[in-house]
Chain A
Amino acid sequence: MSAKEMIQKSLRLRLFSLFDAKKGDTVKIVNLPVGLARSQFIRFGIMEGDIVKCLERLPGGTILIQKSRQEIAIGLQLAKNIIVTKH
């Protein structure tokens, strides 16, 4: 997929990074970064396609998300690499 197509697709799907989610937003996870963090997310019970709520956005960019009763804090660098879409 060319860069242009990707931008068009992301515009169509309204893709953005979790870092840009607003407090109170409910978002659907579209893509998780590869590596250990991904495995850890799966263990926590968060996968692509899951719906999570952005509980808090802390001043520095650390994001707090919630899925059912579980709360997970995600650092800025990681949050930037998680692609989500509005639900």
Chain B
Amino acid sequence: MKNNSNAPTHLEHHVHIGEVPILSDSASPKIVLVGNPNVGKSVIFNYLSGIYVDVSNYPGTTVEVTKGKYLQYDVYDTPGIYGVSSFNDEERVARDIILEGDVIINIVDGVHMERDLFLTQQLIDMGKRLLVVINFWDEVNKHRIKIDIGKLEHFLGVPVITATAVKKEGLKTLEEKIQQARQGKQNRQLHSKLHIMLTIVGSQSEALLVLEGDEFISKNHGVAPLNERESVYIDRRNRVNYIVNQIIEDDSTRKHIYSLIGRWTVRTITGIPILIGILYLMFLFVGKLVAQDLVGFTETYLGNELWEVWIRSVVTGFIPATSLVAKILVGEFGVLTMSVTYLLFLLFPLVFAFYIALSLLEDSGYLPRLATMVDRSMIFIGLNGRAVIPLILGFGCVSMATITTRLLSTEREKTIATTILQFAIPCSAQLAVITALLVGAGFQALLIYTAVIFSVLVTIGTVLNKTLKGESSPLLIDLPPMRLPRINNVFQKTVVRTFSFMKEAAPWFFLGAGVIGTLEVTGLLKIWQQALAPLTVHWLKLPADASTAFVMGLVRRDFGAAGLYSLHLDPMQVVVALVTITLFVPCVTSMIIMYKERGWKKATLIWIGTWLNAFLIGGLVAHIIGIFKIL
């Protein structure tokens, strides 16, 4: 990291913020798209950059950054933010990219100018070359809002254009005007304050952030953050309110059908049926159509019957089938057989479907409303309403859900949500097997199972809430308008996300299969199974074979559950075995993701915790049922 002391003295010198390889690998001028959440940034980004984009995690964070190419420029899409500072990971990432940007395209929602222009004015105060795009112009007209563009340009001092990005209206003009982006007009008082700071810090953008008390930037320059955020914010807000009053005439009072739907989704009476309906549709699509029907075809037919048979015959053509290498490559856990089938024929369709559902929910504006509806019930387990999203997604796939814990605002909340996911939420694949087994064991068994798992979930949340330092952050979210998702955008987002997920997951699958295959051919897998047997037989009161299921459960959760299928268990044993396997360690994928997201210390703690907890609770259930002779 460069230090300010040896920086050149000319004023616009840039001090780089930490390690930013994604930004520094190119000398091309940078266009950065900036805006509040849900203002259509990604649509404009896709228009400018075409389909060849590069998604990667921003160094040191779990926030995704998308980079593309437009003419001679590098184009960056940033996470949606309401202001530039360091309130959360998204803001930190956006801030660093904005600081490096040569031209900023600021996209604002024409229906929410009062909120969005705050960020616009802040970007202007940072001294960035700016071009403002007022998006959703069709909605502005529909709502009969009159915006005086000429006056707005005059007040801001930067070019302003209007667009309806999803219909590609106004985007040609946008291309023509990129060259005209320029620095805008600042408040005079702020300007003089900035001048003083500028002599110390060297760049106007960073001078402003120091003035607004950004600790990170201040530390980088070896200066104390100033405590002027509040006064600067209030001045800026007053200026924005003044501008809005001057340029907007809004006399429509007409209620929009979408805003009515939005209200229904947060009210308990209508909100719960809507939630159930949405979950059911998601289950039909992801859980049934894709996870069962499509994957049934791709995994069994394309994977097991075509690919694995073919690759096995190719490999054994070169080396004998009984050799160790052949077993590791194309055996039961083969690197070329099992990993490829899992990756391409199981995970790929599931992930794709999952991302379609998620993108639809995101683009519709439903998720923040769901968070609002359930906010109160989440407080007991140390979370706020936002956490409902990863928890619900967990029933689809725990691994994916662990990734979405990113949207929680504090590390404390992320830890609680991850722990609950890894301990107590069965994924859809496992759920299918569990349901089948429980139906066989009777209604009482179902009741005991559900009660035990639910109590564990609540207990874990409550205990973590009491023991982890700090407090949960109260909910404070802006509800975006409900909108009909655009298929194009949903599809494009899904393709990009699926591709980057597969790229990340693939090496781990090959590695995992290699390790398990090696364990098997060396006989270590057998020893492992035998070591676990006493615990299974005496403590859990299950047949000795059940330990095989637990070993399989290490690899994939549904494997573990499926392993119980062939065991001929009585109802009590079914409940005990299912409770244990549900609470048992998460599958390899979700474990790896947990290590990435939470760091090895926490992840190891959680992982060991699931072992102890699963066998403890499983055994307790076995003994309690035994004593009371319930089943």
Contacts and interface: CB of A to CB of B under 8 A. Distances in A.
A73 B369 CA distance: 8
A67 B478 CA distance: 11
Interface residues of B, number: 41
Interface string B245-289: 000001000000000001100111000000000000000000000
Given A39-B229, A47-B237, A71 B474 contact: no
Given A39-B229, A42-B233, A58-B376, A74 B266 contact: no
A73 B112 contact: no
Contact of A43 (B83, B230, B266): B83
A6 B268 CA distance: 37
Contacts of A42: 118, 230, 233-234, 237
B83 A62 contact: no
A68 B114 contact: yes
Contacts of B111: 69
A72 B475 CA distance: 10
Interface string B494-520: 000000000000000000000000000
A15 interface: no
Contacts of A40: 82, 87, 476
A35 to B, nearest CB: 10
Nearest to B248: A68
B385 A70 contact: no
Interface string A30-54: 0000001111111111010000000
Contacts of B478: 44, 70-72
A36 B613 CA distance: 38
A60 B379 CA distance: 10
A3 B477 CA distance: 33
A71 B476 contact: no
Interface residues of A, number: 31
A73 B477 contact: yes
Interface string B350-378: 00000000000000000010011101110
A72 B368 CA distance: 10
A46 B478 CA distance: 11
Nearest to B241: A45
A28 to B, nearest CB: 15
Contact of B372 (A36, A37, A62, A68): A62
A45 B240 CA distance: 9
B385 A44 contact: no
Contacts of B114: 45, 67-68, 70
Contacts of B481: 69
Given A73-B372, A75-B385, A55 B476 contact: no
Contacts of B541: none
B377 A60 contact: yes
B478 to A, nearest CB: 5
B556 interface: no
B333 to A, nearest CB: 47
Contacts of A38: 230
B233 A39 contact: yes
B419 interface: no
Contacts of B223: none
A17 to B, nearest CB: 13
A72 B477 contact: yes
A43 B268 CA distance: 29
Contacts of B479: 64, 71-73
B372 A43 contact: no
A47 B371 CA distance: 24
B119 A43 contact: yes
A42 B118 CA distance: 9
A35 B375 CA distance: 21
B268 A71 contact: no
Given A45-B114, A45-B118, A47-B234, A74 B376 contact: no
Interface string B468-488: 000000111111010000000
B185 interface: no
Given A44-B115, A45-B114, A45-B241, A72 B476 contact: yes
Interface string A66-87: 0111111111111000000000
A75 B375 contact: yes
Interface in B195-251: 229-230, 233-234, 237, 240-241, 250
B266 A75 contact: no
A76 B471 CA distance: 14
A58 B371 CA distance: 12
Contacts of A45: 114-115, 118, 237, 240-241
B418 interface: no
A44 B83 CA distance: 9
Interface string B530-570: 00000000000000000000000000000000000000000
B476 A74 contact: yes
Contacts of B143: 69
A77 B266 contact: no
Given A74-B475, A75-B476, A58 B372 contact: yes
A45 B236 CA distance: 10
Interface of A: 36-45, 47, 55-56, 58-62, 64, 67-78
5 contacts: A37-B476, A39-B87, A69-B143, A75-B474, A77-B474
Given A42-B118, A42-B237, 6 more contacts: A39-B85, A45-B240, A69-B111, A73-B385, A73-B477, A77-B474
Interface of B: 82-83, 85, 87, 111-112, 114-115, 118-119, 143, 229-230, 233-234, 237, 240-241, 250, 262-263, 266-268, 368, 371-373, 375-377, 379, 384-385, 474-479, 481
